[in-house]
């Protein structure tokens, strides 16, 4: 009787382990940002210049006391951040509308290749304008700061940047490579 109960318990335990591992097999994430089947699993995730701009603007606002930003400078950062958000929303909507227009043209029996190519050109012109706008916004964000504040910002990055500065969680100093060479005394 005891052997029968033990066998049943082992069988149930194995079934529970297999059943709990099934969701992992059902939808595995790929390396990187988590793209699967050509779709973005994280559509709100920003990248490139957009991410850099918003991180820097948020950092300036979060640490305005340490950087000694004036009320006027804080207002300029907030105003610039708002205008960039508005512009990104408008450009993103234009890009989506053009993408829908391209799809609708491709559904037709006789595809007008010249018209589709023109829409594709228009879409990438908007993306190019978006990138240029973000570069200018980053430059404007830098120009809000005084030279002393820019220096303080660089020091702030060095001291609090974590991985990049060899702070908490980094592996800086963990392994010494051949460039360090043997120590001579």
> Going by CATH, does the domain composed of 70-145 fall within 1.20.120?
yes
Residues whose CB is less than 8 angstroms from the CB of residue 45 and which lie 6 or more positions away in sequence, other chains included: 33
Q: From residue 101, how far is each of 3, 91, 108, 116, 117 by CA, in Å?
A: 69, 15, 11, 8, 11
Q: What is the pTM of this model?
A: 0.61
List pLDDT tens digits, range 72-131: 999 999 999 999 999 999 999 999 999 999 999 999 989 999 999 999 999 999 999 999
């Amino acid at each position: 009787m005891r052997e029968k109960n033990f066998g049943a318990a082992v069988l149930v335990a194995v079934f529970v382990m297999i059943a709990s591992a099934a969701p992992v097999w059902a939808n595995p994430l790929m390396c990187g940002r988590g793209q699967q089947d050509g779709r973005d699993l994280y559509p709100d995730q920003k990248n490139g210049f957009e991410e850099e701009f918003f991180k820097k603007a948020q950092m300036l606002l979060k640490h305005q006391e340490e950087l000694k930003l004036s009320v006027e400078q804080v207002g300029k950062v907030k105003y610039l951040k708002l205008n960039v958000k508005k512009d990104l929303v408008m450009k993103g909507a234009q890009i989506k509308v053009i993408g829908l227009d391209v799809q609708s043209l491709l559904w037709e029996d006789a595809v007008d290749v010249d018209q589709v190519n023109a829409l594709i050109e228009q879409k990438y012109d908007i993306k190019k304008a978006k990138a240029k706008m973000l570069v200018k916004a980053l430059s404007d964000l830098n120009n809000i700061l005084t030279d002393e504040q820019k220096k303080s910002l660089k020091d702030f990055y060095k001291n609090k940047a974590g991985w990049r500065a060899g702070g908490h969680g980094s592996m800086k100093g963990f392994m010494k490579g051949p460039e360090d060479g043997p120590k001579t005394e």
